[in-house]
Structure 1
Amino acid sequence: MRGLLMRDGSTNAPAGEEGIGRRIAHARKLRGLTQQQLADRVPCSKSLIAQVERGHKPATQALVTAVARTLRINLGELTGQPYRNPSASEDRVHECIPEIRRALLSWDLPDEDLQPPTIEQLRTSVRHASALGRKARYTRLGQMLPGLLEELTRAVHVSEGARRDELFGLLSEAYTGVTAISYTLGYFDLRSLAMDRVAWAAQASQDPLRVARTQWQRSTLFLATATYDKGLMLLERVRRDIGEDLGRLTPAEVSVYGAAHLRSAIFAARAADRQTAFDHIEHAREAARVLGQDANHYGLEFGPSNVIMHEVATAVEMYDGGEAVRRARQAVLSPAVAPVRLGHYYIDLARGWLYQGDRQKALETLLAARRVAPQQTRNHPMVRETVRMLVDLERRRAQSLSGFASWLGLP
């Protein structure tokens, strides 16, 4: 394992074995920049760049996206995604990507020989696909999506009126499944293409709230490119268009409004604006109080549990492990929380425990993430960063840590 985390920042290991820190060092040197010059452009401290490059400190998503933007490279060049392990059964999901890509490219070329199912059957299929996404069962979802997209594409082209509007709404939701898979696996070009399709179908559905939800979804592209000011502007527009008077909003509108505040909290945290980040959390908490329970309007999973999970994520984004752990200890999550959300929460919390200095708790929390959402956990770059750090810090590694690293595909 030492080949993963050489202290001198050398790059003599195979590219597939490199951590994010070493990839940053390599990309920086290719651009002819010193650590200080990169830090000035990010901006951050030279000390942070040095510690991350040498493997003394894990990279945050905020730092990785900022460095990628500064060096004008794709995010995957720093994270190493997509991660492949041909010997693992979980890797079968990658085999779905070519067919999904072909289905996206055929968005305006329906198969004229295809007789689409009834609208009732298509509703059922889309609900099933959404349920697979909530459970983070990406292989089954990936196998299902190409055929479903072909059926929906054909159906919208042979329908009209209100029926056609509904079918476009279903198509937008199905395209959202593609964004989930491509984000999880690290196919960033496919994700951008899928987002275009989501927006196109949402607009054609004539549903203003679906369009607003799509704009919320679009904001993730600004997160991935460290364009925080534009992302915050977009989310503010979403809330303004819905309306700020919670008493006048429908439950679905409250969900979109609250979700926009939660996403804004993450943007503000990555921009190191602590006060604004937690102000957004409080606005979202009030929206969740008005809603009264966890809900899943338009696939947003908004409610009291999601607010709690974003509190922890917000603290983690700012390297504040103590605050993340404190808020997690006060958390009471609904047993109905979707596995995909719970898995992400555990991944965030594991980083919080690592920043707090409790390596055992960090590993235990990663194991919990693996239990509820294995494919999501295995493909998350921050999981790999956390495990690399744990391996480097633990001179006498527990069997559970070595086994987890092996499951991730780390040498």
Structure 2
Amino acid sequence: MPDSNDAYIGARIAEQRRLAHLTQRGLAASAHVSHSLLSKVESGHRPASPALVAACARALGIESSVLAGQPFSGEQREDRFDAPVAAIRASLENWDIPLEDVTPPRPLQDIAVDVELVGDHRRSANYLKTALDAPRLIDELVESSHQGEGRHKERAHRLLAYTYRCVHDVAYNLGHIDLGSSILSRMGFSAERSGDPYMVVLTSYLRAQSCFNTGRHEVGLRLMSRALADVEEDARRGNRSALCVQGNLRLRSAMLAARSRPAGKSQADNARAQWNEAWDTAKLLKGDVQNYVMSFGPTNTRIHQVAIEVELGNYGSAVKASENLRFPDEFRGAYPDRVGHHYIDLSRAQLWTGDRSAAFASLREARSVAPQQTRYHPHVRETVHTLRRADRAQNESLSNYARWLGL
């Protein structure tokens, strides 16, 4: 099994296919992808799109993270993630039992300050700092939730649900999919007790994200449809929190539609229709809004316009859409995770339109903005693999970048 970092995704698909005793044609038929495309992906001559990876994983009865090679354990050990991730797992053991002989929790207003800092770490894609700080807050908030009633209990659960949201990003992006599922379960428990319907919607939003890994895009779309119905009335009244939530739900629906299999005109039309709805919502906000549940605005919507075209395999359209995107200074400072993710997507589009120098420049930009996100993103590794195979001169900067990734 090619579990080393030197194996590209196509090679892992080929290995898992052989372990399942399937021919290329057999897997292509089961995954509803063309045999020609699968052949090119396995040989490394075409990109392994997230939609194709999810379709093959589902046909093979495994998770997409297996084909992506996640989690990248060697790099995580080098970056000292082992102990913080273990602490997150330990913090999930208790969510419903008051403990005796523990240090009394601080007042909620003091805990809330630290929770906000964890949220800042999450938006900065600082996975290590998030993982280091969140477990003690989870323990403290669980205990606080048992020591009060009414609004105190609701606020404790609201802060707890948001903290779970932060560590879910760590687990998901590092490739600890099982841990992410456990976090979502705990988040759902607290969201239901938070007195905040938007926290419940946020849980559905993250649950739909896990559908990318399993390939159950139809489940994710149904979740988003149900959540949109829940916020429709408040959004119609112009409630800014509801509009932020509604816009993000539309964008997630667009990405789910873009990755649906079998891909075709209807999926593309649905993805773009969802994006258009999100754009209409963004225009109502008249700017980028940092909201306590989900931030939203025109810039993030433009980012997703590029990402959708990448997911649909329309790389030229993605590059063209990126020309309409300008990051305000305040956005770049507030949302490094979104800026970094954009450059990761853009690099894939530039690579497969033949502009290898621009693709590498985008990867360097992603690293400068959000280094941990970039290092642990499987499609960064896939792009670098492809760039190295095409680089006959063995560019030293590219080799150094590959070594930083752990390749």
TM-score by length of 1: 0.93
C-alpha distance in 2, partners of 1:14/1:244?
49
Count of residues in Structure 1 that have an aligned counterpart in Structure 2: 398
Match of 2:327 in 1: 333
The alpha carbon displacement at 1:300 in A equals 2.2
C-alpha distance in 2, partners of 1:86/1:266?
29
Letter in 2 for 1:225: T
1:336 partner SS: helix
Letter in 1 for 2:354: G
Over the aligned positions, Cα root-mean-square deviation in angstroms equals: 1.6
Match of 1:108 in 2: 96
The alpha carbon displacement at 1:108 in A equals 2.4
The alpha carbon displacement at 1:14 in A equals 6.5
Does 216-225 or 337-346 show the bigger shift?
216-225
Letter in 1 for 2:291: H
Match of 1:96 in 2: 84
The alpha carbon displacement at 1:74 in A equals 2.6
Contact conserved, 2:375 with 2:405, CA < 8 A, in 1? yes
Match of 2:309 in 1: 315
Match of 1:8 in 2: none
Is 1:295 aligned with 2:289? yes
1:170 equivalent among 140, 159, 165: 159
Is 1:279 aligned with 2:273? yes
2:296 partner SS: coil
1:251-288 per-position Cα deviation (integer Å, ceiling 9, x unaligned): 00001111111001101111231111111111001100
Letter in 2 for 1:44: V
TM-score by length of 2: 0.94
1:57 equivalent among 46, 71, 74: 46
2:73 partner SS: coil
Is 1:258 aligned with 2:247? yes
Contact conserved, 2:5 with 2:406, CA < 8 A, in 1? no
C-alpha distance in 2, partners of 1:300/1:218?
15
C-alpha distance in 2, partners of 1:242/1:142?
31
Contact conserved, 1:325 with 1:353, CA < 8 A, in 2? yes
Match of 1:208 in 2: 197
C-alpha distance in 1, partners of 2:106/2:280?
42
2:232 equivalent among 235, 240, 243: 243
Match of 1:357 in 2: 354
The alpha carbon displacement at 1:297 in A equals 2.0
1:228-247 per-position Cα deviation (integer Å, ceiling 9, x unaligned): 22211111111112116844
Contact conserved, 1:114 with 1:154, CA < 8 A, in 2? no
C-alpha distance in 2, partners of 1:56/1:189?
32
The alpha carbon displacement at 1:299 in A equals 4.1
- Stretches of structure 2 lacking an aligned partner (at least 5 in a row): none
The alpha carbon displacement at 1:76 in A equals 2.7
C-alpha distance in 2, partners of 1:99/1:30?
35
1:82 equivalent among 58, 64, 71: 71
C-alpha distance in 1, partners of 2:3/2:322?
38
Match of 2:117 in 1: 128
C-alpha distance in 1, partners of 2:297/2:352?
27
1:85 partner SS: helix
Letter in 2 for 1:315: E
The residue correspondences of 1:6-85 to structure 2 (distance < 5 A) are: 15-85=4-74
Letter in 2 for 1:374: P
Does 103-112 or 16-25 show the bigger shift?
103-112
The alpha carbon displacement at 1:75 in A equals 2.5
Letter in 2 for 1:30: L
1:54-101 per-position Cα deviation (integer Å, ceiling 9, x unaligned): 111121111111111110013332111111336986x22333111110
Match of 2:379 in 1: 382
Contact conserved, 1:213 with 1:298, CA < 8 A, in 2? no
1:153-188 per-position Cα deviation (integer Å, ceiling 9, x unaligned): 110011111111011000000011111100111000
C-alpha distance in 1, partners of 2:195/2:271?
33
Match of 1:3 in 2: none
2:104 partner SS: coil
1:105 partner SS: coil
1:190-228 per-position Cα deviation (integer Å, ceiling 9, x unaligned): 000001111111111021122112212211122221112
Contact conserved, 2:131 with 2:170, CA < 8 A, in 1? yes
Letter in 1 for 2:228: R
Letter in 1 for 2:359: A
1:56 partner SS: coil
Is 1:348 aligned with 2:336? no
